[in-house]
């Protein structure tokens, strides 16, 4: 019943193209962080991996629950009252916010560790 929303492939790609681009970008960062950690065992490889994994989880959950269509599905297809729909959407927004803030913190920590590790005194 929940998957009866008629959407064609073009609308799906148009709706989720930023998410798909984010998944591709953070998958590349994850592979880069894994290779960096395996070859050099830098500590910032771990924080970079955690950051990219959190973003990947957030994007996959966003696409799995079909967040752009969630309000329609909850109100029209399930018949929930609007205050419950707003509450559910608020909870999901808070979940995505928390995941993205934690990922950003790990990204900033890894950038700081990269700067700290590779900072060299340069003589001009």
- What is the predicted pLDDT for the residue at 3? 55
As given in the structure block, the two tokens for residue 123 are 């003589």
Instruction: Decide: helix, strand or coil at residue 122.
Output: coil
Q: What number is the average pLDDT over the span 28-53?
A: 87
Segments making up each domain of the chain, as ranges: 9-118
* Cα–Cα distance for residue pair 114/43, rounded to 1 Å: 9
Query: Over 60: is that where the pLDDT of 23 sits?
Result: yes
Query: Over 50: is that where the pLDDT of 101 sits?
Result: yes
Q: What number is the average pLDDT over the span 38-53?
A: 86
Q: What number is the average pLDDT over the span 80-105?
A: 95
């Amino acid at each position: 019943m929940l998957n009866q929303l008629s959407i064609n492939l073009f609308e799906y790609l148009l709706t989720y193209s930023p998410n798909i681009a984010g998944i591709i970008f953070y998958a590349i960062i994850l592979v880069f962080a894994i290779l960096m950690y395996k070859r050099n065992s830098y500590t910032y490889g771990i924080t970079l991996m955690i950051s990219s994994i959190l973003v990947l989880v957030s994007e996959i959950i966003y696409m799995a629950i079909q967040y752009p269509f969630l309000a329609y599905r909850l109100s029209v297809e399930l018949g929930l009252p609007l205050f419950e729909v707003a509450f559910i959407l608020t909870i999901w927004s808070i979940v995505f916010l928390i995941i993205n803030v934690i990922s950003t913190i790990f990204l900033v920590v890894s950038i700081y560790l990269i700067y700290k590790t590779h900072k060299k005194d340069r003589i001009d």
